Structure formats: C-alpha cells, structure tokens
Amino acid sequence: MTDIDPWGDVEIADYGRTMERFGIEPIASVADRLPDNRLVRRGIVFGQRDLETVLDARDRGDPFAVMTGLMPSGVFHFGHLAVLDQARMFQEMGAELTLCVADIEAYATRDIPLDEARELAVEEYLLNYVALGLDLDATDFYFQSEAGNDHLVRSKLFSRYVTQNEFEATYGTAAPGKLASALTQYADILRPQAPENGGPKPTVVPVGIDQDPHVRLTRDVASRYRETAYVKPASTYHRFMRGLQGGKMSSSDPTSYIALTDSVSEAKRKIDAAKTGGRTSVEEHREKGGVIEEDMVFELLAFHLIRDDDELARIRREYESGAMLSGELKEIAKERLEVFLREHHENRKEARPKVEAYLEERTETGFGVDT
C-alpha cells in the first residue's frame, strides 16, 4: 500500500482507516479543551497528533505556537479556508502565529517562477488573509526564499536526520526537488521553536491530511536533532471539501471551486452548475428526499456559509425530507455567497494599502526577486 503523496492527487476514501493506519488521534479526544469552533463541532476537523502538548502549554500559561503554510500555485478558494480558520482559533487561544509562503516548493516541484509565486502570494494569500481579519503585525509571515540564513541552514542540517530509506518509504521518491522542498518544510514547521524565536515550544500545525507525511518526518527530525531540544510538533487535520462537481476540488479546475476573488455572478453560475443530491424528478424528490451526502451545495453551506448549527440542521431536515428542492437549496447558497463575497471584496480593497505598507516595511531582500 502506498503512502500519501503530498505532491500528488490525494483523495481519502476512508478517513477512519487513514487515521488508524498512520496513528492519527480523533479530535474528539481533546475537543472539550478547545474553544467552541464550528469546524470541530461539525467533524470537519477530525484528527490530531499530540495536541495535548499545546493545550497543556496553554493551561500552564507557557508560550505555544501555531504554524502553517501554503504553496502559491493557484487561487485561494473555499477549500483553503479551513486551515486559516484553525490558525485563527489557535491564535485566539494565545498561540503565536507563523505563516509561510512555500515559494521554494512551488519553484522546485511546480516550476513556478519565484516572481510569479510572489505575486500569487500577495494577490491570493496576503490580501485574502488580511481581508478575512488576519493581523499581519501579530504574525510571523515569510516567504521560504526569504526565510533567513539560520532557517535555510537548518533545513540543510536536517538532512542528517532522515535516511534515504525513510524518505523513499514516505514519499515514494527521493527526487531532488522533493527532497529540497521537504527539508525546507521541516524547517518551516520547526521555525517557531528556533532559538531566535524563543523556542523550543509546543507548536501545532493545521494541515490537510495530504501534508501528514511531512508532519511525521518533521516529528522524527525534531526528536533526533541534537542542537535544539525540539518539542515534537503537534498537528490537526481537516476533511477536504469536495469539488462543486463532486470529486476532488482542484486549483487547476475553476469549475470545481469558488475562489474568494470570483465575482458574485460567476460564483452564482458555479452554484447553478454544481452537483446536487436532488432526485431526477420533483415527484421523486418529494417522496424520497435529497441525498445530502451527495450534495456539493450543502457541503459548501456546512463547511463555511452557515454558521448557525440550528439553521443548518433545519436545512438538512427539510432537504432530506423532500420538503426542500435542490433549486431552493441553491438559492440559499447563492444568497449567502453574495453576502459573503460582496463583504469580502470590499474588505480586500481596504486590505490592499495595509498589505502594500507591510511589504514595503519588510527588511528582507528577496532572492533575485525584484519587488
């Protein structure tokens, strides 16, 4: 059986089995120690490793961190929101937040030039993050290509602590670009614990389960590295939101996602074309009800657009009983999307000068990137 390929097309058929196989614990075992959170309540965040280390630090009043990253390879869409929501949950609990733009990884594994990666990162990540309320001044935000000498040196030193066998067994390859990206990512994950950042300290990494191979090997590196007594990083995992047509949501297929920069009319068209769990005729739908598990519009509502549990439960009941038709469900989604996107686009406009000022103030000099 092959491992999960973080650079491949990851589709998880059975989350329970995947958890068992890789030793991921259910989030339920620590949920009562977390703040009330929609993604946790709804089982969208389903798994964790060692989250106790972070929660214990919080309880003791000790410093702890949350760290995650994104590869700038396409637009920022609703499928990306779960990571940011979790990062903010931990930040509200008192964690220091570190956010990385994986531009080296994009270059080495996707052939995306650094200047293009930077532009994507600003337009798609930074502007959306700030529009969604992220405070950049309270965040260690960085590009891998500007991570600083110590960071990049550590990423090389870490090579000492992973064998070729482990690497190949985990990733199915030891291709140079993947080696370089993986080692850089271990340094990313351990960055909040670096001496210059006041480490070691418990750190949680919210990621999609496709990134778990990196988490596992970083945990090995953390326990083997001699120079710093790293705490093995903790992690949380969320379910992937499926694409609007069913199947995988993919950045390379615009019909599969709604981007945060999609116009309202474009977003509505995508909802109109989305796969539903509706029956073939109104009569059949009224009689048997909609198949909610097959309904991608409901999935979007459940993940992000409906915050109130009672309201979501009412929609579920009405849809499953046949009282609500797919067209009516789509109308709800379109209304919510319109409100969300209009507000978000407005917030993006306000975010732009803040982001520009922030980038201006940065002292780092990019690697061969004119900014």
Position 86 contacts ligand TRP (CB under 6 A): no
* x/- map, 293-332, ligand TRP, by CB under 6 A: ----------------------------------------
Indicate which single residue of 48, 155, 203, 211 sits in contact with ligand TRP (rule: CB under 6 A): 211
Are 291 and 282 a contacting pair, CB within 8 Å?
A: no
**Least distance (Å) from ligand TRP to the CB of residue 82?**
13
Q: Which of residues 214 and 268 has its CB atom nearest to ligand TRP in the complex?
A: 214
Residue 105 found at the interface with ligand TRP (CB under 6 A): yes
When asked if residue 205 is in the footprint of ligand TRP (CB under 6 A), the reply is yes
- Could you say which residues in the range 58-77 bind ligand TRP, by CB under 6 A? 67-71
Choose which of 185, 193, 261, 326 interacts with ligand TRP (CB under 6 A).
185
Query: Which residues, in sequence order, are CB contacts of 288 under 8 Å at separation 6+?
Result: 279, 322
DSSP class of residue 198? T
Cis peptide before 200 (omega within 30 of 0): yes
**Cα 243 to Cα 78: distance, rounded to the nearest angstrom:** 10
CB 49 within 8 A of CB 215: yes
Residue 197 contacts ligand TRP per CB under 6 A: no
> 165: which residues sit within 8 A by CB, 6+ positions away?
none
- Indicate the residue type of 313: A
Shortest reach from residue 182's CB to ligand TRP, in Å: 9
Residue 147 touching ligand TRP (CB under 6 A)? no
**Count of C-beta atoms within a 10 Å radius of residue 360:** 8
- By beta-carbon proximity to ligand TRP, the closer residue of 70 and 222 is 70
Query: Which CB sits closer to ligand TRP, 72 or 243?
Result: 72
- Contact predicate 209/18, CB 8 Å: yes
Distance CA 125, CA 262 (A): 14
Which positions lie near ligand TRP, rule CB under 6 A? 67-71, 100, 102, 105, 185, 188-189, 205, 207, 211
